[in-house]
Every structure is written in C-alpha cells, then in structure tokens.
Amino acid sequence: MKKWYAVLGDPIAQSMSPTMHDQWFLENEWNASYIPILVTPENLGQAIQSLRTLGCSGWNVTVPHKQAIIPFLDEVDEAAAHMNAVNTVYRTADGKLVGTNTDGRGFVKSLQEFAGESENNSVLLIGAGGAARGIAHALQSAGYGPLYFTNRTTSKAAELASEMENAHVLSVEQAQQKMGEFGLVVQTTSVGMNFAQSGMPLHPKGVSKDAVVADIIYNPLETEFLREARLAGAKTMNGVGMFVHQGALAFEKWTNVYPNTKKMIQTITMKVGG
C-alpha cells in the first residue's frame, strides 16, 4: 500500500520539505507521498491523534511545534531529549511514535560533505539557543573541539558551555579578538541576516583563511555575515546543506536509505536563488 508522510508547521506553505522528500521517494522508487499540513498550536494534539489513527508513516515537525509535540509522542530518543526538541517522528515495528532530532547531525554531515577533515577543530558557536545546542552536541560527538560559545546574552552561553566537556564561554569582544584562531565558526542566530544592525559587535574580519564559516540560514543563500566572511577570505557554507542533510537523516529513519544529497543541495540552492 502507498505510504504517506507529512510536515507539520505554522506557517507551512513555504516549506521545501515536500519537494525534497517527494523527489527522493521517486529516485528511490519508494511508493509514498509527502504533504505539508498547516497545524495551529491549539490543534497540535488533535493533529497528532489523527496522524496516528490515519496511519501516517512518519513526519517532520517545524516551527512552532518542535517542543510542544513531545508530550503527544510515545518516546523521544537521546538526540531529541538532549535538545528538548523534535524535528522528525517515525513509527517502530510495534506502532510506537518516536521523536528524534536530526538538525545537529544534519549540520555535521553537511560540514563533512563540504569541507572534509580539518586540522583545526576549534569551534566558535555564535548563539546559545536550541540550534546552537543541537549543533554543539553533534559537533562534539563527531570529535570537534574545543568549543567556544559566544552570545548576546553571555549568561546563556555560559549555561550551555557548562553542560558540556571541553566547552568554554567567550564575551563577544573576546570572541572577536580570538577570531583568527578558530577552524570553524558557526553562526546560529538570526543576526546572520543583518548583523551590522543587530547591535552584536561581532564581525568575521580576522578569520583564518583556512577556516570554514557557516551560517545555518539558507534564505537568503548568503547572509551578510557569510558575505563578510567570504570577503575576509574564509570558506563559507550556507544552511542549505544542513537543511538537506537533516531531511536525509529523516528519510533514512523512514526508509533505511540515505538519499542523494549533493544533487538535492543543487536543486534547493536553485529554488532559493530563484
């Protein structure tokens, strides 16, 4: 029987996940469809109950439901528990709904595909929200470190650093001074869009030419922060790869196949770039 999958969010019309997963279903001859479903916060519980009853095989979860969905699931795995957020749901053989989170590992896979191995594994993470937490845990599991956190609100960066080994907090000014020492700089906040006006006095100038500077935003393809990093001579990576690999990890959970990500990165880049 044909299977079906979904993405739940509010808003949802802009999501590129249906295009991506439908393409992968075709490429891998998996008899399935993937549909966007607009779910408002007050309808979330009812929506999950409906998906359960109607036999949806798995789904993605986006803003604003990533935390709110947790009580409606049967289990969350370690990645979702660490992040206290779910972006993917799958069913076990005995019908349980399990929440996982592929965002952090999606970032690391995209980094490995983009940059390969690096000699300098010292990382500056800008931001201390949910995205920074997931990426930091995944980077550490993949052997990156030491990790340095900097954030507009330094106390939040300090809290995150205290949860992890080999992690430190830097004031924005200290991060600026050390900019040349990092092998990887990851911008996880909305500051990347318009950092000159954000009031956050952090600039990629002084970054090492061997460093990778990543921004998790993918629309626009090049944030102001990335543009400055490119002009400073760094290798820059936008958020398309992370988006595609978090989706690929979800796809793998559902089908046991890791789909073609390189071609998909080109497709999504073209769609975003217009």
Catalytic residue list: 66
200 binds ligand ATR (CB under 6 A): yes
Cα separation of 157 and 153, whole Å? 7
List the one residue out of 17, 7, 86, 13 whose CA is nearest residue 264: 17
b or e along 93-129 (b: 16 or more beta carbons within 10 Å of the residue's beta carbon)? eeeebbbbbbbbbbbbbbbeebeeebeebbbbbbbbe
List the one residue out of 215, 123, 104 whose CA is nearest residue 175: 123
The amino acid at 214: A
Number of residues that bind ligand ATR (CB under 6 A): 16
- The nearer residue to ligand ATR, 17 or 255, going by C-beta atoms, is 17
Q: How far is the CB of 83 from ligand ATR (least distance, A)?
A: 9
131 binds ligand ATR (CB under 6 A): yes
- The nearer residue to ligand ATR, 127 or 259, going by C-beta atoms, is 127
- The nearer residue to ligand ATR, 150 or 255, going by C-beta atoms, is 150
Sign, CA dihedral 17-87-164-199, equals: positive
List the one residue out of 199, 195, 250, 249 whose CA is nearest residue 217: 195
127 binds ligand ATR (CB under 6 A): yes
Q: What dihedral angle (degrees, nearest 10) is formed by the CA atoms of 247, 150, 215, 242?
A: -10
Q: How far is the CB of 171 from ligand ATR (least distance, A)?
A: 12
What are the beta bridge partners of residue 97? Answer: 91
CB-based contacts of 81, cutoff 8 Å, min separation 6: none
Q: Which of 190, 208, 219, 260 binds ligand ATR (CB under 6 A)?
A: 190
191 binds ligand ATR (CB under 6 A): yes
Q: How far is the CB of 237 from ligand ATR (least distance, A)?
A: 18
198 binds ligand ATR (CB under 6 A): yes
List the one residue out of 122, 133, 117 whose CA is nearest residue 216: 133
List the one residue out of 189, 190, 237, 193 whose CA is nearest residue 211: 237
Q: How far is the CB of 107 from ligand ATR (least distance, A)?
A: 12
Q: Which residue has the closest beta carbon to ligand ATR?
A: 129
265 binds ligand ATR (CB under 6 A): no
64 binds ligand ATR (CB under 6 A): no
- The nearer residue to ligand ATR, 40 or 194, going by C-beta atoms, is 194
The amino acid at 1: M
Site string (150-189) toward ligand ATR, x via CB under 6 A? -xxx--x-------------------------------xx
Q: Which of 18, 64, 130, 145 binds ligand ATR (CB under 6 A)?
A: 130
Q: How far is the CB of 160 from ligand ATR (least distance, A)?
A: 9
- The nearer residue to ligand ATR, 40 or 153, going by C-beta atoms, is 153
Q: How far is the CB of 191 from ligand ATR (least distance, A)?
A: 5
- Omega of the bond leading into 220 within 30 degrees of 0 (cis): yes
CA atoms within a 13 Å half-sphere pointing along the CA-CB vector of 188: 26
- Indicate the length of the chain as a whole number: 274
The encoded tokens of residue 32 equal: 């399935």
Chain residues in the site for ligand ATR (CB under 6 A): 127-132, 151-153, 156, 188-191, 198, 200
